[in-house]
Structure formats: structure tokens, C-alpha cells
Amino acid sequence: MLLGGLLLSGAVFARSGADALEGEGLSGVDALEGGGLSGADALEGSVSAAPIECNGSAPCIERSTGLPLQLLPRPFSNIYLDREADADKVARANVAAFRPLYVFAREGIDLSHPAEPQGWYQVGSNSSQKLGWMQARDVLEWRQALVVAYTHPGGIAEGRKPVLMFNDVAALRRIVDAADMAGEAEAIYSAIDSAQLPEAVVSMEPKRYIDINRQFYILPILDWEKLDIYGDEVRLLQIAAAVPGQRGADTLSDSGYLDQAATGRDVDQGAGLDNLAIDLVFVMDTTRSMQPYIDMTRDAVRRMVQTTGARLQERVRFGLVGYRDSVKAVPAVEYTTHNFTPQLVDAEQLVELLTHEAKATPAGSLDYAEEVFAGVDAGLRSQWRPEALRFIVLVGDASAHPRGHAQNTTGKDESDLRRELDDANVHLISIHLQDERAVEDHDRAILQFGQLSRVRGSDGEQALVEVNAFEAGDFTAAVDSVVGGVVSRFERSLALRSLPPPPPMPEFGAEPDAANQGQMALDKVWEAALIEYLGKGARPPKDIVAWAMDRDLLNPSDPSLEVRVLVTREQLSTLVQALERVLNALEQSRTSQGEFFAALQSLSGQTLKRPEDLGSGKNLAEQGLLPAFIQSLPYHSDILTLTQEKYASLTPEQRVQLEWGLSAKLAQYRAINAQVDAWHRLNEADPASELVHPLHIDYLP
């Protein structure tokens, strides 16, 4: 969804960095050149050239975007009582590096010479609290909310290398331009492993996985270069690094940081395997063809109980969600989804539920497809325990109703749910029962079940088990390998204090049977899940400025950094309100056969304080009805460029897809807003409205 450049016109480097921790400053060419935004972003020129309005009482605002101007303090910088760098007038010494501050006033600001910026900023930790003044030479202007996050590093054998952070772009470019880039990079990794630290490398991402949703950090983008490597578009990024509430530069010359950064991603060092628990939720089709498989699942759980006894009873919890079809379309099915376990239960209680309550319905559906997506969506809302590894086992024999179908009750598809699974740290294994009488449905179901079971950190691998529906032994073998395998891998991990090695693979060329398919699927998701858990013992680098590549230096096709948008609760709430207006207008124009823009302006005029201020632009970006910060971001947006003419040219199917797509985004925003642990404070005094969330850029409309 990104345009040619990530953005970096929004950051102004306000001082050259002699400090070894900060890397070099920008060249004489202003960092605002290159990476320009398209006209769809409704901006004139670069973001940093946009006029700033300051009234002295509230934070300064960029006129074109409506965003507050923010600064990133450099390490070892001070806030002064007044515009005088006097030791006797320090209001706050050594402020937290790269943690955003609001600007309330700008005095004498001159950034025409980046190496020697002039002037002062009046700053505050939130939108209502002024702290004092900072010199322009001590800060970076950060006019965009774009940050990057580390991607899941993948498995032990085939995962990507950690991100290397160079002190200047020239050092990184030398590696990238080398005839043998992978060889040059491998030599650096080998030198770090042997504690022979290269001068050009300031720091490094830990080998263990740093999950931004669990261990919040910020990596604002300050500058960038775009390159083409083997036909792939990659970027060299200058990033700052900060961890709220923590101080001190994390460089490789710090032996304490180096030791923990170099610890293998399979090792329990500070993660606390003793506290590990497992939550496993079955999401099962309970239509009339499924009763034998419900019974076989019950028997597999019973066998697991007989094998393990009570020794893991408190540490392994189960859930059960049944799904059928749209009860509105087919009332006889009694429910679309039913959560049999509002609170997760132990294995013996699950056996009781599978024996007495989870029964298949005798009623038939209107078509072969079922409400698979609704079942997965309900499973995602399970009462997961905070410290548990989270798994869903999806069992079904039919495809899901696609987004926009009359019987799709969630407005979501496999891509929407895949993002939510990733954000919730839930790993899904699919067991697809294949009836030869419905072979025309198989490809569609395999695509959906496969996308839902994509393994995090892998190159497209899927935890998908395909089973012949008429071979009861095959399903028994598959579900046994999954249910029993979770427990056996759990016990081996506890015994070894690390990720256990995978069992032998089937012989080359041999078609894996159902048991082997289940084993391989579980191996993949277990490795990905435990790597996430063990990453809790690592810590991200902080208080540095450095250059890094957004791809693996050894394999540039693997992303190592992904783009996020740091949104506040207030911004997300504004976006929700805007999308609600757009969806209401779409519905009204569809039912009344009227013009979409006329309906949108009518609905917006009813809710805005000054409806006469509604724009007369031809597309939504020009109308000014969507939040200004959305318009300022460099990504392709179908909704921002939508015009009345484009809307009129859409087919009925395309209009339905547009409406359902926006509905899915809206549901995701509401889910994020409801998650208490998804929101983070940048500063201790931040009010609730200014908590932030690192939103995937793909979540934007």
C-alpha cells in the first residue's frame, strides 16, 4: 500500500551527529528532498514545508495535516526554564531520548543549515503540560507518525538475521553495493558472534523476537534511500530508537547489551519458561455432516488426558467454538456461532462438552459453504490467559462465505482475520476435511484455510492438514498428532529449557500421511509461538540513531522491518466516526439510488458543528471529511481518491466489496480500541486520549 517512498519528508534533522551513538547528520542536501508524496495526499510540497500555526496555549499544528508538531529529543539534552542554555536554568536534565514531545511555540527557528540549526522550541510532554524550552540543535522535528517494527524473525534454521544498525549510511551502502552482499554481511555477523565488533555497526536487533505489541518500543523514521536489489524495492532507513520509561544507549560496545542481543532465539534467558501455559481453542463446524469428527476430537482429547494425567491440568486450558451458517438466512441451524467455553476449561471438562453439548445440527444450509470466518472471529475473542501460548485448531469440511456474500455475517475474510490473528499472537492450525462429492469447493476452502493457517515469520508456509473425509483413521491420526503433540512439545520445552529440535522429516519424495501432516503443521506453529514467548527475555535497543535496511541483508526478499502508524486513541476514534459517516452514506445512496457524495455531505452536516465548512472537492481527500492525518500518509487509499464519478462507475458487486471492506476496517478499529494492553504511554503523565497504538499501515482505509 505504500507509495514509492515511505515518507521521510516529514522529519527534519536538526543537528549533525558527532556523537558516535547518533551517526552522521544529513548531507548538505536537505532531507526533505526525495520520497515526495503523491497528489492524493492533498499536500503541497514536502510536509516539512507546511505552515505551522502556534497560539501559545495549545500545541502547534501543521495547517495542511491538522497534526500537532512533535520533537524527538537527542540523548543527553536538557529542557531549560527559558531560552538560555544556562546550567542554572535547567528545568529537566537529560530528558528521555527520542520520546516525542509536543511543541507549543517556536522562536527564531532556522533549519536552512542542518548541521547548525538555530532557535528554540517550547515543549511539553502532553498536549496540556508545558515543560520549558529546548534548543533546535538538541532535537529532531518529527512531523509524521510513521514508525517501523521488527518482523517475526522466523524459525531457528531458516529465519532471517537480526537487523544491523550502522553509524552512517555510507557504511551500510558499502555492504549493499558489494559484489557479494550476503558474504560481506555474513562476515559482520560472524565478527559480532566472536565479539570482534565492527566500527561501522552501532547496535543490533536482538536475535530473539521483540514483539511490539508485548514490549512496546518506537523506531521513528528520520531519513531514507530507496534501492533496487535483484528486482526488489528495498529501503535504507535512518531510524531513532526509544523505549518509554527506559534510558541509556544500547550499543554493541556495551557488553551487557551485546550478551543479551546475541542470545539465540531458542533459549530461555529471562523469559520464564516455568510460567509457560497453553490455551488451545477448537473452532469446529457443527453442521450435520460433522458429528463423527466431533466425537473423534473428543476421543483424542480423552486419550491425551489418559496419557498425561493431572500433571499439566492447570497449565493447559481448552476452548470450544461451534459454527454453522447465518441463522438469519437459515433459522433452523439455531446459531451462527456458539462459544461453549466463555471461560477456558481443563481437558476433562472439554470432553464433557464434546460428549453432551457440542452436537451437530440435523438442519441443512442453503449452500455448501458455511460461516467459517464467523467461527474464527468468535474463537479469536476467547478469554486467553496473558502468559499462555495461544492456538486455534480449525476443523471444517466446507469453504467460508466470502466477504460481501449475503450469508457472511462478519464482513471479514481470510486476510482480515489473518491480521487479527497476528496481532493477538494466536497461531492457527487448519484441518480441512475433503469430501470427494464437493471437489469443486476444495480449492476455495484450501485457499481460505491455508491463509488463516499461515505460519508467522515463514516464507508462506501453512499449518494446513488435508484429510480425506471418508477415512476416519486419517482424521483420528491428524487430530491425535495435534492435540497430543502440543502437550509433548510443551513437556520437552520445559525439560530442555529451550525450543526442542523438530522430529525427523518424512523421507524425501514420500507423500506425508495425515499424522505426519499434523505433526509438521504443529512443529511450524509451535516453533513460531515459542520463539515469540522466549523473546520476552530480550530487550530492544534504545537511545541511538542509526541506519538499517528494511530487508534481511543475507536474503533481501525477507522483510525485517514493517511500517506502522503511531495513532492516539483520539485519532482512532476520529477515524471510526469518519468511516461510520462514509458507510452510512454508502448505504443510503444504495437504498435510495441517490448520489453518494450528496448523502455523505447530508449525514456529515448533521454531525459537524459547522456544516457550512464542508469542502467542495471532488474526492474524499478534498472534501475534508476524513481525518487530516490519514491524508498526510504516503500510502495508496481507494477511499481517499473516491469521486462521485468513480462511485457511479462501480458495479453492484464492487460497491458491496467497498462497503464490506470498510466495515471490516471499522470492526478492527473497535477491537483495537477495546484491547487494554494494545495502548501504550509515551510519557507517564499522558492522558488516556493520548495513549498510542502501533497500527499496521494495512489497517488504514
**At residue 306, what are phi and psi to the nearest 5 degrees?**
-65, -30
The correct answer on CATH 3.30.110.60 for the domain covering 273-535 is no
Q: What is the DSSP string of 158-176?
A: TPPPPPEEESSHHHHHHHH
List, for residues 325-343, the tens digit of each pLDDT value. Answer: 999 999 999 999 999 999 9
Output b/e per residue, 364-379; b: 16+ Cβ within 10 A. Answer: ebeebbbbbbbbbbbb
508 CB neighbour count, 10 Å cutoff? 5
Give the residue extent of every domain in the chain: 11-144, 147-263+538-559, 273-535, 567-699
Output b/e per residue, 439-477; b: 16+ Cβ within 10 A. Answer: eebbeebbebbbbbbbbbbbeebbbbbbbebeeeebbbb
Find, among 418, 325, 406, the residue nearest to 371 by Cα: 325
Q: Which set of grid coordinates corresponds to residue 220?
A: 521513528
Query: Distance between CA 445 and CA 398 in Å, rounded?
Result: 6
Output b/e per residue, 612-626; b: 16+ Cβ within 10 A. Answer: eebeeeebbbebbbb
User: 561, 148 in Cβ contact below 8 A?
Assistant: yes
Higher pLDDT, 370 or 145: 370
List, for residues 557-616, the tens digit of each pLDDT value. Answer: 899 999 898 888 888 988 888 888 888 888 887 777 667 777 776 655 444 444 444 445
pLDDT at 679: 92
User: 150, 561 in Cβ contact below 8 A?
Assistant: yes
Mean pLDDT calculated for residue range 247-260: 91
Query: Distance between CA 303 and CA 210 in Å, rounded?
Result: 37
List, for residues 466-497, the tens digit of each pLDDT value. Answer: 999 988 899 999 999 988 888 888 888 888 88
Q: What is the mean pLDDT of the chain?
A: 83
Query: Distance between CA 153 and CA 159 in Å, rounded?
Result: 5
pLDDT at 371: 96
pLDDT at 506: 58
pLDDT at 26: 29
pTM for the whole structure? 0.83
Sheet holding 337-339, edge to edge: 337-339, 316-323, 277-285, 388-396, 426-434, 464-468
